[in-house]
Amino acid sequence: MDLLTELALAIVLAVIFGFITHLLKQPVIIGFLLAGVAFGYLEGVWLINPLSSPIESLASLGVIFLLFLVGLEMNLREFKHLSWSALLLGVGQIFLTFGLGFGLSLLLGFSLATSVYLGGALTFSSTIIVVKLLSDKGDLQSLYGRLAVALLIIQDFAAILVLLFLTSSRILPKILDLVARSQEMLYLFSLAWLLGVALLAVAFNVSLEAAGLLAGLALANSSERFQMSARLRPLRDFFIILFFVALGAGLVQTEIVFPVVPTLAFILFVLLLKPLVILLVNGFLGYRARTSFLTSITSTQISEFSLIIAVLGYRLGYLGPTELSLITLVGLVTIFFSSYFITHGAKLYEFLKPLIKPFEFRSKLIKEAQIESKLENHIILVGVDRMGRSIIRALSNQDVNFVALDFDPVIIKELERMKVPVVYGDITDSDIQEKIGLTKAKVVISTVPEFEDNLAILRATNHKRKGMKIILTAEDEWHGRELYKEGADYVLLPHFIGGQELAQMISANHNFANLKDLKERDLKLIRDYTLVK
């Protein structure tokens, strides 16, 4: 089979299986790996070794482009925005998971060098998959969502820590300023730079994967990196499909016999032991059980980096075809289950709650401010960040009985310093509902857009309202309509309100002459918000 035929077959199969997994609401990576299985079977008919076919050579370009864009988009300043608890979670998870994975591999009879690669492959989780699933759920801004993303950021940094020395390049930005005047030249320069570094890597016996990452890191501080990234992303997507197809094809090599015990052991390690590590670390840091659990299940898969580590180990001779295919199979199975775990995390927590609660170490829980007033006929504010800060300021300036609820330890400590009555916890927790007097309140205001959290408020107060007013927040019109059906008195739709204000501005003044006054108003609000924060 010639290259053109192989390429056409691989792409057609990737489209078919990718579309099927999309319909099943699964990550398309699964579809690409399954396309590789079908591709490998069909190649076997023509007696071609999937790991030595031309497709495998083209697949290497997918890895190089992927790592080039990872390096190009890497922003070291993100570390400044990570809390100490997120840093401890990330570092603790990496060291503990790698140590346990390395030890398990040794216990299963793998060599020392092989165990290092296997332990590393089991450590990392997929940024692409987790962020996509959290975004679909609308949970990226939740506490557990922010913790999960912070954990992934730290994992990404850890994966390339040894390559950071090239981020201080001073010559390239001057060259880029010249070529950036032409979009075509910028595109060609990006390709020439990447492939040129790859050629140097071959000459100096450096891996192509490291070369791709180095090439990206060297340009990471340039102002043109976003344009280069946007132009090269289609190439990356095309070649990375071939990478996954080649990996899937390796699963059907006739000489490979998957060892049952290691296969099951590694799958259970990723699905159970990895999240257990995060449960323990989060419990030690003082997070409540629900937050710890929802954060932990985002780690129940291995990442693209894991597969790249396995491929690199194979090329260097530390992993054989069996070990490479083993990691691929673990990725296929864990990505499948992980998508369901993350999507149905709230229901899964309720089912497993008795088993998860012991990981909420009471002695370590974030302490909330002392609530001195009697919680009856009071106002409850659920969610203090952003919109909630303005409400806190308004309530604090009035002689009203109120309590705030939030599950972010950083916000809790800030409100403690301000002497604001606040409780640390999750509104879906029945113990927390009792602590804040949810059924005795006169007004409940929720600024969090999570649909399940707002439903929990409505259902907990359904038969005990007696004049209680409930104001909730929704991300879109559909969720707003559902909350109204469940009995909400008013639902805030932030983008809706913003659009209405802009429409009023246009109706009032077509020349937008009042923009200066609005700017001064908003700057004052931002200054006040910053002082509160």
SS3 readout for 136-186? HHCCCCCHHHHHHHHHHHHHHHHHCHHHHHHHHCCCHHHHHHHHCCCHHHH
Question: What per-residue confidence (pLDDT) applies to 163?
Answer: 38
Residue 483 and residue 462 in contact, taking contact as beta carbons nearer than 8 Å: no
Question: What per-residue confidence (pLDDT) applies to 104?
Answer: 92
Residue that the structure tokens 């089979």 belong to: 1
Q: Which helix (H) or strand (E) holds 379?
A: strand 379-382
Beta strand extents in 435-480 (DSSP E only)? 443-446, 469-473
Give the CATH number of the domain where residue 311 resides.
1.20.1530.20
Hey, is 191 helix, strand or coil? helix
DSSP, residue by residue, 319-348: S-HHHHHHHHHHHHHHHHHHHHHHHTHHHH
Let me know if residue 509 belongs to a domain.
Answer: no
Hey, is 363 helix, strand or coil? helix
- The b/e string for 73-107 (b: 16+ C-beta within 10 A; e otherwise) is ebeeeeeeebeebbebbbebbbebbbebbbebbbe
Question: What per-residue confidence (pLDDT) applies to 256?
Answer: 65
Domain boundary among 308, 328, 358: 358
- How many CB atoms sit inside 10 A of residue 531's CB? 9
Let me know if residue 501 belongs to a domain.
Answer: no
Domain boundary among 358, 392, 421: 358
348 and 485 fall within a common domain: no
Residue 299 and residue 125 in contact, taking contact as beta carbons nearer than 8 Å: yes
475 and 416 fall within a common domain: yes
Let me know if residue 502 belongs to a domain.
Answer: no
Q: What is the token pair recorded at 454? A: 């707002």
Q: How many angstroms separate the CA atoms of 18 and 34, rounded?
A: 9
Let me know if residue 503 belongs to a domain.
Answer: no
Question: What per-residue confidence (pLDDT) applies to 431?
Answer: 75
376 CA to centre of own chain:
40
- Residue-number span of the structural domain to which 410 is assigned: 368-492
- How many CB atoms sit inside 10 A of residue 342's CB? 24
428 and 315 fall within a common domain: no
Give the CATH number of the domain where residue 465 resides.
3.40.50.720
Residue 403 and residue 423 in contact, taking contact as beta carbons nearer than 8 Å: yes
183-203 vs 208-218: helix crossing angle, rounded to 10 = 140
Let me know if residue 533 belongs to a domain.
Answer: no
Let me know if residue 343 belongs to a domain.
Answer: yes
Q: Name the residue among 79, 32, 25, 64 with its Cα closest to residue 328.
A: 32
322 and 184 fall within a common domain: yes
Count CA atoms closer than 13 A to 383's CA, side-chain side. Answer: 19
Domain boundary among 303, 324, 358: 358
Question: What per-residue confidence (pLDDT) applies to 324?
Answer: 84
Residue 89 and residue 285 in contact, taking contact as beta carbons nearer than 8 Å: yes
293 and 328 fall within a common domain: yes
Question: What per-residue confidence (pLDDT) applies to 166?
Answer: 34
53 and 151 fall within a common domain: yes
344 and 388 fall within a common domain: no
396 and 285 fall within a common domain: no
259 and 407 fall within a common domain: no
344 and 428 fall within a common domain: no
pTM of the model: 0.68
Beta strand extents in 407-507 (DSSP E only)? 422-424, 443-446, 469-473, 490-492
Q: How many angstroms separate the CA atoms of 425 and 282, rounded?
A: 14
Residue 102 and residue 119 in contact, taking contact as beta carbons nearer than 8 Å: yes
Weakly modelled stretches of the chain, pLDDT under 70: 1, 43-54, 56-57, 71, 73-83, 138, 140-141, 159-184, 186, 201-210, 213, 220-225, 253-256, 362-374, 386, 463-465, 498-502, 505-514, 525-533
442 and 353 fall within a common domain: no
- How many CB atoms sit inside 10 A of residue 416's CB? 17
Q: How many angstroms separate the CA atoms of 277 and 280, rounded?
A: 5
Residue 152 and residue 129 in contact, taking contact as beta carbons nearer than 8 Å: no
- CA 250, 254, 256, 261 dihedral sign is positive
Contacts of 444 by beta carbon, 8 Å cutoff, 6+ apart:
379, 380, 382, 438, 457, 461, 468, 469, 470, 471
Q: How many angstroms separate the CA atoms of 462 and 459, rounded?
A: 5
Residues linked to residue 382 through DSSP beta bridges, in sequence order: 405, 446
Beta strand extents in 20-137 (DSSP E only)? none
Let me know if residue 512 belongs to a domain.
Answer: no
The number of domains in the chain is: 2
Residue 302 and residue 124 in contact, taking contact as beta carbons nearer than 8 Å: yes
Q: Is 273 exposed, middle or buried (0-12, 13-18, 19+ CB in 10 A)?
A: middle
* Structural Rg of the chain based on CA atoms: 26
Let me know if residue 516 belongs to a domain.
Answer: no
Q: How many angstroms separate the CA atoms of 297 and 271, rounded?
A: 8
Q: How many angstroms separate the CA atoms of 404 and 422, rounded?
A: 5
303 and 373 fall within a common domain: no
Q: How many angstroms separate the CA atoms of 505 and 501, rounded?
A: 6
